[in-house]
């Protein structure tokens, strides 16, 4: 068993993100040349020009680019396997940490969305209907019907039985508390009480809420789908910084930090945009492509 644990502790989760990119931009040099030689007789009516401009602007559809990642999350057996694997390792590490002496009460801290609760039905709604967050998100939350992710309930019940305090730290809004707890109670999640569900108030960083738990607890495990779920060093880091911090904290992953796969959204995407979520679809599309390192076949 020791050998098995040794290799499991050094596991990594690699999720291949597939985006369907639609491009339809006209060659600017050719367009300028055509405009210079167009006469009033050959120039299309102004309303037709406006329609063509609108069609060109609409060629970049960010929600459609999320089809493949959401499809993977909803249909792949690999996703389920990764969640079972993550929660199995969480149980192994919990058992080990329970044997270690501590002066404080032990606590496990988890994110909610894409760690415990599965929101891919909302992501599918957005992709199929061509809308972006936050459109429809509040209605999804209020429905309080998000399913559980594989392995979550079994692990949480086990931790509860061992006398471990469980804290759910989520960036859902405080006004969504009632619906969130209703959804948790629907599945029988242990310790789904107001004092154990720490939602977003003023800032997205979870540091203050983790510090709140640390006042009288030792956090022995943190589980999440986003690097900022684990340590404040990851807050608002750019792409190279995030990778460097992961390398520096590599011994924590599979030991204290348990990461679950989320190719649909997260700070990994925000880092690509330098956290400027107000970019236009065309600007987001450009940033995505600029961040990629494509293979270049030999000529």
Distance separating alpha carbons of residues 23 and 30, to the nearest angstrom: 17
- Residue numbers of the domain that contains 101: 79-290
* CATH at 170: 3.40.50.1000
Round to whole Å and give the CA distance between 189 and 183: 9
Residue 47 and residue 288: Cα distance in Å, rounded? 33
For tokens 């120039």, the residue is 43
Q: Considering the domain boundaries, does residue 37 fall inside one?
A: no
Whole-number Å distance between alpha carbons of 32 and 100: 72
User: Could you count the other beta carbons within 10 Å of the beta carbon of residue 246?
Assistant: 18
Note whether residue 106 is domain-resident: yes
What does the pLDDT read at residue 58?
57
- Residue 29 has a pLDDT of 40
Say if 179 falls within a structural domain. Answer: yes
Whether residue 110 lies inside any domain: the answer is yes
CB burial string 201-210: b at 16+ within 10 A, e below: eeeeebeebb
Alpha-carbon distance 120 to 146, whole Å? 9
Residue 2 neighbours by CB distance under 10 Å:
5
Is 28 inside any structural domain?
Answer: no
Which residues lie below 8 Å from residue 187, measured CB to CB, with a gap of 6+?
148, 153
Q: Is residue 299 part of a domain?
A: no
**Which are the contacts of 168, defined by CB distance < 8 A and separation ≥ 6?**
109, 110, 111, 112, 116, 184, 192, 196, 197, 198
**How many structural domains does the chain have?**
1
CA distance 94 to 87: 10
- CA dist., res. 130 & res. 33, Å (int): 34
Burial class (CB in 10 A: 0-12, 13-18, 19+), 11: middle
CA distances from 18 to 23, 29, 238, 263, 292 (A): 16, 32, 21, 9, 12
Q: What is the pLDDT of residue 38?
A: 36
Report the DSSP beta bridge partners of residue 259: 224
Residue (of 159, 45, 41, 140) closest to 95 by Cα position: 159
Quote the CA–CA distance of 284 and 269 in Å, as a whole number.
10
Does residue 25 form part of some domain?
no
Inside any domain, residue 270: yes
| pLDDT given for residue 171 in this prediction | 98
Please report the pLDDT score of residue 26 as a whole number.
37
The reported pLDDT for the residue numbered 99 is 97
- Segments in the chain below pLDDT 50: 1-44, 46, 48-49, 52-54, 56-57
Distance CA 151, CA 173 (A): 26
């Amino acid at each position: 068993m020791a050998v098995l644990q040794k290799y499991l502790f050094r596991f990594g989760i690699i999720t291949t993100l597939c985006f369907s990119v639609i491009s339809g931009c006209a060659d600017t040099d050719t367009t300028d040349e055509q405009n210079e030689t167009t006469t009033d007789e050959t120039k299309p009516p102004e309303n037709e020009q406006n329609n063509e401009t609108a069609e060109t602007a609409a060629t970049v559809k960010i929600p459609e680019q999320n089809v493949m990642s959401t499809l993977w999350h909803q249909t792949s057996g690999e996703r389920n396997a990764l969640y079972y694997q993550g929660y199995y390792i969480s149980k192994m590490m919990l058992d080990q940490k329970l044997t270690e002496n501590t002066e404080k009460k032990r606590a496990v801290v988890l994110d909610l969305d894409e760690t415990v609760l599965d929101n891919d039905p909302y992501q599918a709604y957005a992709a199929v209907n061509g809308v972006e967050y936050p459109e429809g998100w509040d209605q999804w939350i209020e429905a309080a019907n998000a399913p559980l992710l594989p392995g979550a309930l079994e692990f949480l019940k086990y931790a509860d039985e061992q006398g471990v305090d469980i804290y759910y730290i989520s960036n859902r809004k405080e006004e969504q508390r009632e619906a969130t707890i209703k959804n948790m109670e629907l599945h029988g999640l242990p310790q789904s009480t107001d004092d154990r569900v720490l939602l977003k108030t003023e800032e997205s960083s979870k540091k203050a809420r983790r510090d709140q738990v640390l006042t009288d607890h030792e956090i022995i495990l943190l589980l999440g789908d986003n690097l900022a779920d684990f340590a404040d060093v990851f807050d608002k880091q750019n792409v190279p910084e995030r990778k460097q911090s992961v390398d520096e904290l590599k011994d924590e992953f599979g030991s204290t930090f348990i990461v679950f796969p989320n190719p649909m959204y997260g700070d990994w995407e925000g880092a690509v945009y330098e956290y400027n979520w107000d970019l236009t679809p065309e600007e987001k599309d450009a940033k995505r492509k600029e961040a990629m390192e494509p293979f270049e076949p030999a000529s």
